[in-house]
């Protein structure tokens, strides 16, 4: 028994394949910029990996909770845009600022404030714990200072990148500042040679000989 279609019956419509592809392309063009923008904004307001690691370790060494005040990261493109923008600022000191910016490849800054009134108490081995955590990522400590209410840690990668990247944590009473930066050492050296006397920033042995 065969089935025959009535000539008046409506045939199911089949969207051509080409129109489907164009539809997906259109949707992709609309959604992709949103995704990119979201990723860019997210990268701007989060710390890079070394700074986040250092922040997490210092905060976990205290027995209190912290509030984020500022959290910002800038990469090469943003630094380049900032530098280009400064060229239009009519100030004679802008030239120095541009020269300083030229030596920065990327930077990440976080400022955190204690939620409570009391100053934080750190675990006894907080510096060693931070060393271990950073060492697991290939970073070695350059400077460690603990002086009454102030604590400072400075790390740099061990190996080839030593001196080109830094991660710094400063804990001062109820405020924690974490900074991470990748620098162009050659340009920075040229900039500092013009503005800083050649003295290493090492602690002095006080000589109270008066």
Partner 1 sequence: MNNLLRSALAATALSLASALPVSAAPEIGAVDFGSFSAGPQSKFVEVNVQSGLLKFAAKIAASQEPDAAELLNNIRHVRVNVVGLDETNRAATVARVESIRAELEKKGWERIVTAREPKKGGTDDIAIYMMSNEETIHGVVVTVIEGKGEAVLVNVVGNIRAEQLARLGEKLDIKPLSKLKLPRKDAKQS
Q: Read out DSSP for 187-203?
A: HHHHHHHHHS-S---PP
**126-135 and 49-61 helices, crossing angle to 10°:** 150
Q: Read out DSSP for 87-103?
A: TTS--TTHHHHHHHHHT
- Window contacting partner 1 (CB under 8 A); options: 13-21, 58-66, 97-105, 199-207: 199-207
| Residue 32 or 145 with smaller CB distance to partner 1 | 145
- Window contacting partner 1 (CB under 8 A); options: 6-14, 17-25, 112-120, 189-197: 189-197
- Window contacting partner 1 (CB under 8 A); options: 6-14, 23-31, 83-91, 121-129: 121-129
| Residue 91 or 160 with smaller CB distance to partner 1 | 160
CA dihedral (95, 97, 103, 104) positive or negative = negative
Residues in region 39-98 near partner 1 by CB under 8 A: none
- Coil, strand, or helix at residue 58? helix
Geometric angle at alpha carbon 38, from 36 and 39, rounded to 5°: 65
Q: Which of 145, 172, 173, 175 binds partner 1 (CB under 8 A)?
A: 145
Compute the distance between CA of residue 70 and CA of residue 115 in angstroms, rounded to an integer.
14
Whether residue 169 contacts residue 47, with contact meaning beta carbons closer than 8 Å, is answered with: no
DSSP label at residue 138: T
- Window contacting partner 1 (CB under 8 A); options: 38-46, 75-83, 101-109, 146-154: 146-154
Check binding of 135 to partner 1 (CB under 8 A).
Answer: no
Check binding of 202 to partner 1 (CB under 8 A).
Answer: yes
The residues binding partner 1 (CB under 8 A) are 124, 127-128, 140-148, 156, 162-163, 185-186, 189, 192-194, 196-200, 202-209
């Amino acid at each position: 028994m065969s089935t025959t279609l009535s000539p008046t019956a409506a045939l199911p419509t089949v969207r051509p394949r080409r129109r489907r592809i164009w539809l997906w392309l259109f949707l992709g063009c609309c959604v992709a910029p949103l995704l990119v923008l979201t990723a860019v904004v997210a990268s701007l307001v989060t710390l890079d990996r070394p700074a986040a690691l250092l922040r997490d370790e210092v905060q976990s060494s205290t027995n209190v909770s912290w509030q984020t005040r500022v959290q910002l990261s800038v990469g090469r493109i943003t630094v380049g845009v900032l530098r280009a923008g400064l060229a239009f600022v009519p100030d004679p000191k802008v030239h120095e600022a541009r020269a300083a910016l030229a030596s920065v490849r990327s930077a990440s800054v976080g400022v955190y404030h204690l939620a409570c009134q009391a100053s934080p108490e750190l675990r006894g081995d907080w510096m060693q714990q931070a060393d271990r955590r950073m060492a697991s990522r290939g970073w070695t400590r350059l400077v460690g200072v603990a002086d009454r209410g102030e604590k400072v840690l400075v790390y740099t990668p061990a190996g080839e990148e030593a001196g080109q990247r830094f991660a710094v944590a400063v804990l001062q009473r109820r405020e924690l500042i974490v900074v991470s930066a990748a620098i162009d050492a050659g340009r920075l050296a040229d900039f500092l040679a013009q503005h800083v006397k050649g003295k290493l920033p090492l602690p002095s042995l006080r000589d109270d000989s008066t």
